[in-house]
Amino acid sequence: MGCFFSKKSKRKSGEKDDRTPTTTTVDPKDYMLTGLKDVTAGRLPGKLNGQQFVIQECENCDIYVFDHSATITIDDCVNCRVFLGPVKGSVFFRDCKDIKCVVACQQFRTRDCKKMEVFLCCATQPIIESSTGMKFGCFQYYYPDLAFHFKDAGLSIFNNNWSNIHDFTPVSGENNWSLLPEASAVLDFVPAPDAESEFKSVRTSGDPARSIVPLTKGGRRKDSEESCLFVFFAGEYTTANARKMIDEVRKTGFVLIQTKEVSMRPEDVKRVFQNNAEELVDLTVLSSPPKGPVIALELNGDGVVEACRNIASEVFGGTKVFVSENKNTSSRDVDNFFNFADMQMGL
C-alpha cells in the first residue's frame, strides 16, 4: 500500500524551490500619520489588519481609522476630529488639545491633554493623567465592518466602562472630567467623512439605534429607583437575543443602564443567583459540555421588572434566561451580578 508522502523529491540541489516564502517589506509610513494640517486622512478597512498605528503632530484634521489595530498612540495633536476603530490593546493620547473623538479599545489613557470630548467603548477603566477639561459619552457608531473588527480585536460590545473614569492626578476642589449631555449626538462632534474624501465609500452612521455598541446611561443618575437584571446564558443566538431585548425594552421607554459579558463558574452562579442557582449551573462555561459567557443587562424604569418578565415569556420563551422576580429584590440582583462581573474583570 502506498503513502502520499513516501516519495522523495528528485529536485537537484541547484534547482529553485518554488515553495520558498516571499517576504513583504513593511513601510513604517503606512502605519502612521504625522505632521498633517487641514486635511482628511486615515485608513480604510483592511489597511491595518491588527498592526500598531501612530498619529502625531496633526492640526485641524479629520482622521478616520476604519480598521482594527493592536495599539494606537496620538501625540501632540491639536483641534482634530478622530475616529478609531477597535483597538486590541491601548489607545494613548499625549500632549493633545481640543480633540473630539470616537474610540473603541481595551485600555484608554490620556496624559497632559486639554479639552477632549470622547465617545468611548473601553473594556477596562479609562485613565486620565495630568489632563483637564475631559468629557465622556457612550460610543455610538456603525459601519459595515465594525462588528467584525470588534471580534478581530477581541473586544466585547457589551463590556463598556465609558463612564467609570479614574483620574490619576486629581486636584482638590476641581473636576478634571465630566460626562457629556445625555442627548449628545456623535456626528455633531466627529462628522461623517466628506463626500469628496477617500472614505466616502464607507457607509457610516451615528444613529444610536444602529450603533454596534449598545447605548448605555452609565454613571448618570437613574430616572427610577426600580431596576431589573436580565441575563442571557450561552447559546447560539446569545448576542442577537441580547440586542433584541434591548430593542424591545426601549420601545416601552425603559433605559439601559449597563451591560456585561463574562464567564461564570458553577460556584459563581451559586453565589450570584443564590436561590435560583441550581437550574442555572448547567448553563455555565465550565459545565459539561462547556458553554460560553453570559450577557447581562441592567434595565431601569418604573414597572421595568414586570415588563421584562412579560418580554421573557412572550419573546424568549425557549431561551435560558434569568430575570429579576420582583422589584423588592431586583436591586440586590443587579448589585450581586455587576459586583461579581467588575471583580472578575479587575475593575
Confirm or deny that 90 is annotated as ligand binding.
yes
Considering 140-144, 275-279, 315-319, 320-324, the range whose residues carry the highest mean pLDDT is 140-144
Annotated binding-site residue? 140:
no
Res 9: pLDDT: 43
Q: Is the pLDDT of residue 288 over 60?
A: no
Calpha distance 213→9 (Å, rounded): 55
Give the per-residue pLDDT at 157.
Answer: 98
- 158 burial (CB, 10 Å; 0-12 / 13-18 / 19+) is buried
Supply the DSSP string of 11-61, one letter for each residue: --TTS--TTPPPPPPPPGGGGEEES-BS-EEEE-TTSSTT--EEEES-BS-
Residue 333 has pLDDT above 90, yes or no: yes
pLDDT band for 309, please (50, 70, 90 cuts).
very high
User: What pLDDT is attached to residue 278?
Assistant: 58
pLDDT the model gives residue 236: 76
Asked if the domains at 28-188 and 227-345 fall in one CATH topology, the answer is no
Task: Give per-residue pLDDT as tens, 52-89.
Answer: 999 999 999 999 999 999 999 999 999 999 999 999 99
The answer to which of 160-169, 171-180, 196-205, 313-322 has the lowest mean pLDDT is 313-322
Check residue 8 and give its pLDDT: 41
Residues in the chain: 347
Domain ranges in the chain?
28-188, 227-345
**Is the pLDDT reported for residue 282 higher than 80?**
no
Residue 55 near residue 77, CB atoms below 8 Å: yes
206 is in an annotated binding site: no
Range with the poorest average pLDDT among 67-71, 81-85, 98-102, 285-289 = 285-289
The pLDDT score that the predictor gives to residue 48 is 95
Which pLDDT score, from 0 to 100, does residue 4 have? 36
pLDDT at residue 57 in the model: 98
**CA 293 to each of CA 104, 149, 234, 268, 345: distance values in angstroms, whole numbers, following the listed order:** 21, 20, 6, 12, 13
In the predicted model, is pLDDT for residue 97 greater than 50? yes
Residue 339 clears pLDDT 60, i.e. is over it: yes
State the DSSP code for 226: -
108 marked as part of a ligand binding site: yes
5-25 mean pLDDT: 48
Q: What is the pLDDT of residues 230-252, one digit of tens each?
A: 999 877 789 999 999 999 988 88
Task: In whole angstroms, give the CA distance from residue 85 to residue 143.
Answer: 10
Residue 196's alpha-carbon distances to 39, 41, 191, 192, 200, in angstroms, are 12, 12, 14, 11, 7
3-state class (DSSP) for residue 220:
coil
Query: Average pLDDT, whole number, for the chain?
Result: 89
Res 283 pLDDT > 60 = no
Mean predicted confidence (pLDDT) in 327-341: 94
Gap between the Cα atoms of 86 and 20, Å rounded:
34
Which residue has 452609565 as its cell numbers?
Answer: 218
Give the CA count within 13 Å in the CB-facing half-sphere of 102.
30
At residue 23, the pLDDT reads 56
The answer to whether the predicted template modeling score (pTM) of the entire model surpasses 0.95 is: no
Give the pLDDT of residue 136: 98
CATH class held by domain 227-345: alpha beta
Mean pLDDT of 112-136: 98
- Residue of 37, 7, 62 lying closest to 198 (CA atoms): 62
C-alpha distance from residue 264 to each of 154, 277, 279, 294 (Å):
18, 12, 14, 7
Q: Hey, CA dihedral for 130, 135, 138, 144, is it positive or negative?
A: negative
Say whether 51 counts as a known binding-site residue: no
List the single range of 50-59, 213-222, 266-275 with lowest mean pLDDT.
266-275
Q: What pLDDT is attached to residue 284?
A: 53
Averaged pLDDT, 296-310: 96
- The domain 28-188 having CATH identifier 3.40.50.150: the answer here is no
1 vs 253: CA distance, rounded Å: 72
Closest CA relative to residue 87, chosen from 100, 64, 71: 71
Mean pLDDT of 152-160: 98
Does the annotation flag 85 for ligand binding?
Answer: no
pLDDT at 327: 92
Mean pLDDT across 131-144: 97
Max CA-CA distance within the chain? 85
